[in-house]
Structure 1
Amino acid sequence: MSSSIPPSVKPGGHTPHDHDDAEHLKALGYASEFKRDMSAWANFSLGFTYLSPVVGVYTLFAYALATGGPPMIWSFLLVGLGQFTVALVFSEVVAQFPVAGGVYPWARRLWGRRYAWMTGWVYLVALLVTIASVVYGAGPYIASTLGFEANVNTTIMCALGLLALATVINLLGTKVLAVAAMVGFTAEIVGALAVGVWLLITHREHSLGVLFDSFGTGTGGGYLWVFAAAALIGVYQYYGFEACGDVAEEVPDPGRLIPKAMRRTIYIGGAAATFVCLALVLSVSDIPAVISGEDPDPVSTVLNDAFGATGAKVVLGIVLLSFLSCAMSLQAAASRLAYSYGRDGMIIGSALLRRFSPTRRVPPYALILAAVVPAAIVIGSKISTDAITKIISFAALGIYIGFQMVVVAALRARLKGWVPSGKYTLGRWGLPVNVAALIYGIVAIVNMAWPRTPDAPWYDNWIVALSGLVVIGAGLVYMIVHPLHDRSSGPYADAVPENRTKA
C-alpha cells in the first residue's frame, strides 16, 4: 500500500505556511511554543461554541419574551449588524498582529502597555466570570437530566463537574481542543436545526405575524424602552468571534484564516441563534402566560410538550453538550490571555502563567487559573446566590468594554496614521466601519448598564454599572501598587508609524 504526501504538506507534517507564520511572529517579537494544530474550521468552531446559540437563547428566552414579547427577536438582526462591524475591526488587527491572547496584545500594539493592561484586565475578569455563569447555568440542566433535585448543592456539584471536564479537555492540548470544538459545533448546529425544524413542523402555534405583536408589553411607556431591555438577548448572544483570535498562534496562516472564522461566527452563529429563537417563539402556546409570569420557564414547557419527557431529556443532552463546549472555549480564550500577560511579564504570577507544558504544548497554570477562579465563584453561591448573581452581572458588560477598548485603540491609531497591513484589510472602508463599531458599542454598553428595577435598592438597580466601576477601579489600584506593566520589555504601540520610527 503506497502513501503520498499531499503537495500542501512538507515532509515532517509542516505546511508551507509554518515558516512564514514563525517568521511573522518573530518579526512581532515572539517565538511561539504552541503547535499550529487548529484548522480553519476548528478555529471557527471554537468561536461558534463560545457564542453558543443554544446556551444564549435558552438562558435568556424567558426574560426576553416576558419583557418585550415576540418582536424581541428583531434584536438578533440589529445586534448582529453592530457586532459585525466590531468583528471587521478585529479582523484587520488580528491579520496584522496574530499573537495569542486577543484583545490584550491587540491593544498593546495599537496603543501601549498601560492601556493594554487595563484592556486585558477587564476582559480577563469578564471571561472568568462568564465561565462561572455558564457552568452554574448548566447545573440545573445536569441535575434534571440525571434525575436530581436542582437545589444549591446539586447545582454547585454539577457545575464543578462540568468545569473539571472542560479543564481536562483543554489540558490535553490544541489538537484535542480542536476536535472537541468541532464535535461541539456539529452537535449544537445539528441539534439546533433538528429541534427547531421539529418544533416548526409539529408544534407550531402561531404565524409569522406574531413577530410584530408585542402582546401589550410597553403599554403606557412606549415600546422602544421595553424592546431595548428585551434586546439584551441579542446583545448577550453575539460575542465569541474574538476567541478565534485568542488562539492565533495555534492556527496556520492566521492572518488569512482567522478573519474568515470571525465572520463565519457572526453569520452562522447569528443565523442559528435567530432560528432557535424563532422556533421557540412560534411554539409557545400561551405567550400572555409568559408575559404575566404564570409560565416562568417557557423553554421547558415547549420541549416537554413537543418531545415528551424522554425526548426532552435527549434535547437536554444536546443542551448540556453546548454548555460544555461553551465553557471549554471560554477557558481556552481566558488561558491564552493569561498566558500572554505572563509572557510579557505584565502581572504578578507571570513566571507561572507563562510556563508551558512541553508535551501538551499548552500553558497549564494559565488553564488552572481559568478553572480555579470560576470554581471559587460557583462555590460562593453556597453562601449567597444573590452574591453570585451580582458578580455574574458584570460578565457581558466586561466583554463589551474590552471590545470597545480595542475599537477605540484602533480608531486612535488610524487617526495617528496606522494603515492596516495584514492579509485582511477594509481599505477605505476601515475608518467608517471603525466609527460605526464604536457607536454601536457605546449604545450596547449603555443599554446593558441602564437601571431597570426602580423598586429595588439603588445599588441593585445600578448593579451592572457599579460592577464595571469596581473592576476598573480595582485594576487602577493594582496598576498603581504593582506597576509591572511599566517594566514589560515586549514590543508595544508599534502600529502607529511615528512610534516605529522612534523605535
Structure 2
Amino acid sequence: MVEQVPSRQSPVDDQAASDEAQLAALGYRSEFRRDMSLWANFSLGFTYLSPVVGIYTLFGFALATGGPPMVWSLVVVGVGQLLVALVFGEVVSQYPLAGGVYPWARRLWGRRWAWLTGWVYLIALLVTIASVAYGAGPYVSMLFGLDTTTGNTILCALALLVAATVINLGGTRVLAIAALIGFTTEILGALVVGGWLLISERHHGLGVLFDSFGAAGEGSYLAAFLAAGLIGIFQYYGFEACGDVAEEVPNPARRIPKAMRMTIYVGGFAATFVCLSLVLAVPDFAAVMSGADADPVSTVLGAAFGSAGSKVVLLVVLVSFLSCALSLQAAASRLTYSYARDKMLPASRLFSKVSVRLHVPPHALLLAAVVPALVVLASRISEDATARIVSFAVLGIYLGFQMVVLAALRARLKGWVPSGPFTLGRWGLAVNVLALLYGVAAIVNMVWPRTPDAPWYDNYLTLLSGVLVVGSGLVLLVTTRPYGRSNAPAGDAIPRNETTEDGVIV
C-alpha cells in the first residue's frame, strides 16, 4: 500500500486563507481580488499625493506669498501628516477593510459618527477629482498647442475623467499596473527635471531659503509663511488611499501601514526636491512677488528645456494628473462601496454590487466619474461656481482625517488597545494627541480669512463650504437616520463594558 502524503498549501495560499479568515472575523466576505502588491499599494498612495501635481499647481502662489522660505512648510506639514499616518496605520492594521476612513470611524466610534465621516470625506474626494481633472486642462492645451479657453479646459478634463474610469474598470490588477507606471513616470520626471534645473538653471544658493525677499511687506512674516504653507497642506494627503483598497492587498494588516509611511517619506522627498529645484531656478523673485511673472513654473521650464523639452515635461505632468485622478477615483469608489455594503446609502444594493468578472464596484466607479464631470461642467455656467465647490476639497479631506484621529483618541481613552501587527505601543497616545493638534492647526490655517478687501462671503469661502457640507450632513443624519438599516459591527474597538448598547455616539 502506498502511503498518501497530505498535500501542503503554498505560503501564498496560506496567506490568502489567513486574509479571508481575518476579514470573516471582522464580519465581511470580500468580493475583490488581492492583486495589489506592497509596491503597487504604495504607488497608489504616491500618485494620489502626486508631488508634481501639488507643487506645480501652487508653486507660484506660495512663492509670491511667502518667498523662498515657503519650502520649509513642506517639512513641517510632512512631519504633521506622518503623525496622522501612524495613527491610521494602527487602525488599518487592526481593521483592514475597504473604504478607509468610513469603516475606521465605524469601528472606533459607531454608526452615526461613521456616516458623517463618510459623508464629509466622499464629497471631498468627488470635488477633488473634479479639481484635478480641471487643473489638467491648461497643461493639455499647452501640450497640443490649443487655446486655454474654458471650453477646451472642460473638454480636456472630461477626457481625463473618461480615461481614468476606463482604467479603473479594468480591475485591481490594471489599477495596480497603472499606479506603478504613474509612480515610475512621476518619480523619474521629478528627479530628472529637478536635477537638470539644479545643474543648468540654478540662479541662487541655499541661503535664499532663509530670505523672504520682503514677501511679508509691512506685516508679520509668520502670517505670510502660514499662508504660503498651504502648498504643504495641499500636498500631503493620499496615504489614506493605501487603506481604501485594503481588501485588494495580500497581508494588508502589515503591508498597508508600511505603504502609508512610504508614501509620506518618498512623496515628501520628491515634493520637496521639486519645490527646492524650482525655487533655486527662478531668476527674479521680485517679478513673481509683484505679479509680473504670474506663472514661474512655465518660465523656468521654458528656459531650462526649450520648446521641445517642455513638451516632454508637460507629458510627464499629464501622466501625473491622470495617475492622481485614477487613484482618487479608486479611493472614492471603494469608500462608496464600503458605505453601501453596510446599507448606509440610498441605492445601497446598486452601489455595493461588485462585477463578478472584473472584481470592482462598477456603479460606485461611475458615481466617482459622473459627479466630478458635473462639477467640471458647472464651470461652463460659472467659473466662480466651480471654484466655490472645489474650495471644500482639501478642507473636507482634512476634516475626514481628523474625525478618524479624534475617534481613535476617544477610543484609546476608553480602553482601546490597538491589536494589529503594527502598533505604536506606549507612544500611541502621545502620537494620537499630536496628530490631532496638528490637524486642527492645519484646518484653522486653511479657513483663516486672508482677503480683507474681498466680500465677506469670499473671505470666508472655505469655512462656509465646510459648514455647509457638515451642516447638511447633520441635517440628513437627524432627519433620515440613514444608519438605521445597518447592522454591521460598529464601535467594537472599545471594550464592551465601555460602549453604549449599539456602540453609537453617546
Q: Name the residue aligned to 1:85.
A: 83
Aligned counterpart, 1:331: 329
Q: Paired residue for 1:233? A: 231
Bigger shift: 151-160 or 214-223? Answer: 214-223
Give the alignment of 1:5-20 within 5 angstroms. Answer: 10=10, 14-20=12-18
Distance 1:499 1:334 in 2: 35
Q: Find 1:432's aligned residue among 422, 430, 433.
A: 430
Equivalent residue for 1:135?
A: 133
The question of whether the paired residues in 2 share the 8 Å contact of 1:85 and 1:436 is answered with yes
Look up the match of 2:483: 485
Q: Hey, what does 1:3 align to over in structure 2?
A: none
Matched residues, percent identical?
A: 67
- Alpha-carbon distance in structure 1 between the residues aligned to 2:479 and 2:329: 28
Q: CA deviation at 1:239?
A: 0.3
How big is the alpha-carbon RMSD for the aligned residues of Structure 1 and Structure 2?
1.4
Q: What letter corresponds to residue 415 of structure 2 in structure 1?
A: G
Q: Provide, for residues 389-411 of structure 1, a one-character-per-residue CA deviation record: whole Å limited to 9, x for no partner.
A: 11111000000000000000000
Unmatched 5+ stretches in structure 1: 1-7
Deviations 1:86-141 (A, max 9, x none): 00000000000000000000000000000000000000000000000000000010
Q: What residue identity is the alignment partner of 2:263?
A: T
* Distance change in 2, residues 1:15/1:500 (3 Å): farther
Secondary structure of the corresponding residue to residue 381 of structure 1? helix
Please say if residues 112 and 483 of structure 2, whose CA atoms lie closer than 8 Å, have aligned partners that are also in contact: yes
Match of 1:57 among 52, 55, 58: 55
- In structure 2, which of residues 48, 70, 93 is the aligned counterpart of residue 95 of structure 1? 93
5 Å matches for 1:14-413? 14-413=12-411
Q: Which residue of 1 aligns with 2:465?
A: 467
Amino acid paired to 1:164: V
Distance (whole Å) between structure 2 residues aligned to residue 441 and residue 456 of structure 1: 27
The CA deviation at 1:188 is 0.1
Q: CA deviation at 1:10?
A: 3.1
CA contact (8 A) 1:493 1:499 kept: no
Amino acid at match of 1:310: A
TM-score, L = length of structure 2: 0.96
Q: Secondary structure at the match of 2:268?
A: helix
- Contact persistence 2:414–2:498 (CA under 8 A): no
Letter in 1 for 2:187: I
Does the aligned pair in 1 maintain the 2:105–2:114 contact within 8 Å? yes
What is the CA-CA distance between 1:220 and the residue it aligns to?
1.9
- Count of aligned pairs: 495
For 2:292 and 2:252, the matched residues in 1 are separated by 50
Which amino acid counterpart does residue 63 of structure 1 have in structure 2?
F
Inter-partner Cα distance in structure 2 for 1:131 and 1:159? 10
Equivalence for 2:4: none
Q: How far is 1:16 from its partner?
A: 2.2
* Cα separation, partners in 2 of 1:152 and 1:493, compared to 1, 3 Å: same
Q: Deviations over 1:262-286 (max 9, x none)?
A: 0000000000000000000000001
Structure-1 separation of matches of 2:463 and 2:270: 30
* Helix, strand or coil at the partner of 1:295: coil
